[in-house]
Amino acid sequence: MSHNLVTLRKKREPGPLDQSVLDRLRVAMDRERVLTRETLKRIAKESGVPEATVYGVATFYGDLSVKRRGDVRVHVCTGTACVASGDEHVRFLEEATGVRLGETSAGGEVSLEPVYCLGLCNAAPAVLVSRVSASSLGDRHGDGAHLRTVYGDLSRENARAIATGAHAADEPRPRIESRSSPTIVLRNMVDGADATTLDKARARGAWRAYEAAREAKDPPRGSAAPAATVLEAVAGSGLRGRGGAGFSTGQKWRFAAAQPAGEKWVVCNADEGDPGSYIDKWILELDPHAVLEGMALAGFAIGATHGAIYVRSEYPRAVEAMKRAVAEARAAGLLDRFDVRVVEGAGSYVCGEETALLRSIEGLRGMVTARPPYPAEKGLFGKPTVVNNVETLANVPWIVAHGGAAYAAIGVGKSRGTKAISLSSVFARPGVYEVPLGVSLRTICEEIGGGTRSGKPIKGVQIGGPLGGIVPAALFDTPFGFEELDAIGALLGHGGIVAFEEGTDMKRIARHLFEFGDAESCGKCFPCRIGMRRGLEMVERPAVDVPLLNELLETMRWGSLCAHGGGLPAAIESIVKHWPDELLSRHVVSRGEAE
C-alpha cells in the first residue's frame, strides 16, 4: 500500500531533488546524529509520504540511523584494497578511541562505522571523519561538506591523532599518468594540467564541442540534424559503458532519443562504490566540466532538458567540485537549455545499479527493480532516462570533437577506445592510468604497476570490483578488454585493479567478499539476500563444502535480480578454481577471536 501511494504521488508531483525524503533525513541526521520517531513523523508529514516509507528509507542507507551515532563519526574503510594492504587500521582506531567497530561510545562522542570504499585505494588503509560543529546546524547545502575529511595511509600514530581531533593531513593525490596516445579521459589531468574551474577548463577546450553542436545552423538538405550528428558520432565510436556492464552507449542513447518528445533526463552515475576503484573520484574533482559537458551533449542528442548527477557521500570533495562546476556553467549561460542538479548519496553500494540509483534520486530506498521497462523508456520519475557513468561521459566531448572513427581506431575486438584504470596500494606504483584497450594484464601489473611494493610476487588481481573474478598471475597475458576478460571468468568493469601478493589467505578474501555482499545487498530478492549470508557461513567453516558452495553460487548467479547477487559468485568461483586447497585447509580468524 505504501509503495502504491508513493508511486502515485511520484507520477503526479516529482518535486525538487533537494527536498526529497532522503535529503530531509540526511539533514536531520547531520544535525541530531539520530533519526527519532518524532523526526520520522515530521518528515512524513512534510513530504506527504507514508511514515512506513520514511522509516524504510531511514533504515536502508549507511549514513542514516535510528540509533544514536557519535558527534564524531569515524567511517573506517573495510573495502578490498584496505584488506589487501593489511587491515590493522581497524585495531589502531579501536585502541585510539576505545570504541569497537560498529559501536558508539557511551557518551555519544565517537562512533566507529564500517564503510566499504572511500576512493583512497592508492593510499590504503583509509578513514573518513565527520564532525559536528555549530555551522552544521545551518544550511547543509552551503557549508556542511568541510566537516567531512578523508585520510589515507592510516597508522597507529595518526589514528591517535584522529581520535584527539589533531590530525590535519590532506588526502594524498594519486599518481595520474597516460600510457595511451592520444590521451582522452585524462587529457585535462596529466602533465600539470589544471581544469578545476570553468576558465581553466575552457582554456583547454572544454565546452567547445557542446557550443558548436547547439549553435549549428540548419544543416544542408539531406544532412543529419546536429543532435543526430552527435548521437551518430558516439554510436560510431564503439564507446561502451565504463561503469561495469559495458553496454553500447550509442544504442542506449538511440533508444531514449526514439521515445516521444517530452520530459527526458540524463543521469550521471557517480556512485563509484567498487572497492579498489577511484577513477571517477579524481575525474569529478580535477575535471568536472568534462563530465558536465558530456551530460549536456547527451541531453542534446536525446532531447533531454533535465540532468542529475548522483555522487556518493563518501566523496565529499567530488560533491563540492560538481556543485561548483554546475554553478559556473549555469552562470556562464552554458546550461540555459539543460537544468542539472547534484544529488548526494547516503551510503549504499547497490545504488550504483541504475534502477536502484534512480529510486535513490527520487528519495526512496535504493531497491533494484526488474527490467523491462528499461530506464531509457521509463526511468527517473517515470520519464525516459539515459544513465551513464562518469568516465563514459568524460569521453563524449573528445569523441564529438574528433569524430567517432578516431575513437574506434583504438582498442581490441569489440572493446574500443581507452580505459582509465586504478591500481591499489599493494602495487609499487599505485595510481590512475589511461591505457588503450587491448594492452595485456602483464603490462599493466608488472610494467605500469611495477609489481608489488613489498617485492613479493603478485598472487592474483581482482579487476572491476567485488563482482569481478580474481585473475592469477598465470593468466596475465590476457588482453585487457570486455570479452577477453570475460573469457577467463573476469570482468573489466570499472577498471579498478586490486593486487594480492603471495602469502595472502584467499579464504580470508572469500570471507571478506561475502561479508561485503551480505552488508550491501538491497534485500529485494532472496537468492542474493539469503545467498550472501549462507555463503558467509560456509566459508567461515574450517573446511568448505565446495560442491555445496558451487550449488549456492549457481543459484545466486541465475536467480538474483541484479549483478550484485549475480556477479559476486564470479570472484568466489575464481578462488575455488585457482586456490582450492586454501578453502579446504585454513580456518578464517574472525576479529576478536584468538589466533
Q: Which CATH architecture has domain 72-172?
A: 3-Layer(aba) Sandwich (3.40)
Name 545's Cβ contacts closer than 8 Å, sequence gap at least 6: 538
Q: Which residue has the cell 578474501?
A: 509
H-run or E-run covering 112:
strand 110-115
Do domains 176-408 and 506-585 share one topology? The answer is no
Q: Higher-confidence residue: 169 or 156? A: 156
Instruction: Please indicate, yes or no, whether the overall pTM of this predicted structure exceeds 0.85.
Output: yes
Phi-psi label, residue 33: left if phi above 0, alpha if psi -120 to 50, beta otherwise = left
Residues 471-482: pLDDT tens digits?
A: 999 999 999 999
Q: Please list, in sequence order, all residues whose beta carbon lies within 8 angstroms of the beta carbon of residue 401, skipping any fewer than 6 positions away.
A: 205, 208, 209
Which residue is it, cell 602483464? 442
Rg, the chain, Cα only: 23
Which helix H or strand E contains 435, and what residues bound it? strand 431-436
Long-range contacts of 367-375 (CB under 8 A, 24+ apart): 367/522, 367/523, 367/524, 368/522, 368/524, 368/525, 368/561, 368/562, 368/564, 370/561, 374/255, 375/267
What is the predicted pLDDT for the residue at 226?
A: 86
pLDDT (tens digit, 9 = 90+) per residue, 162-201? Answer: 887 765 566 788 999 999 999 999 999 999 899 999 999 9
411-501 CATH: 3.10.20.600
**Span 315-333, average pLDDT:** 96
Q: What is the pLDDT of residue 147?
A: 75
pLDDT at 223: 47
Q: For residue 88, what is the DSSP state?
A: T
Residue spans per domain, the chain: 2-58, 72-172, 176-408, 411-501, 506-585
Q: What is the pLDDT of residue 69?
A: 94
By mean pLDDT, which of 156-160, 326-330, 339-343 is the weakest?
Answer: 156-160
Amino acid at 538: M
> Which pLDDT score, from 0 to 100, does residue 454 have?
95
Please state the length of the chain. 595
Q: How confident is the model over 358-385, as a mean pLDDT?
A: 94
Give me the chain's average pLDDT, please: 90
CATH code of the domain made up of 506-585? 1.20.1440.230
CB 532 within 8 A of CB 565: yes
Which residues are paired to 386 by β-bridges?
Answer: 266
Q: Is 369 exposed, middle or buried (0-12, 13-18, 19+ CB in 10 A)?
A: middle
Segment 297-315 mean pLDDT: 96
H or E element in which residue 573 lies: helix 563-578
CA distance 502 to 3: 50
Indicate the fold that domain 176-408 takes in CATH: Rossmann fold (3.40.50)
Residue 250 near residue 236, CB atoms below 8 Å: yes
Sequence-ordered list of residues with C-beta below 8 angstroms from that of 121, at least 6 positions apart, any chain: 79, 81, 82, 275, 276, 277, 278, 422, 424, 425, 430, 496, 498
Say what the alpha-carbon torsion angle 293, 295, 301, 305 is, to the nearest 10 degrees.
-110
Long-range contacts of 449-452 (CB under 8 A, 24+ apart): 449/423, 449/497, 449/499, 451/427, 452/426, 452/427, 452/428, 452/499, 452/501
Nearest to 21 by CA among 11, 4, 6: 6
Please report the beta strands in 251-392, taking only residues with DSSP state E, as ranges in sequence order. 265-270, 306-311, 339-344, 385-389
- Give yes or no for residue 290 having a pLDDT over 50: yes
Q: Are 382 and 11 in contact (CB under 8 A)?
A: yes
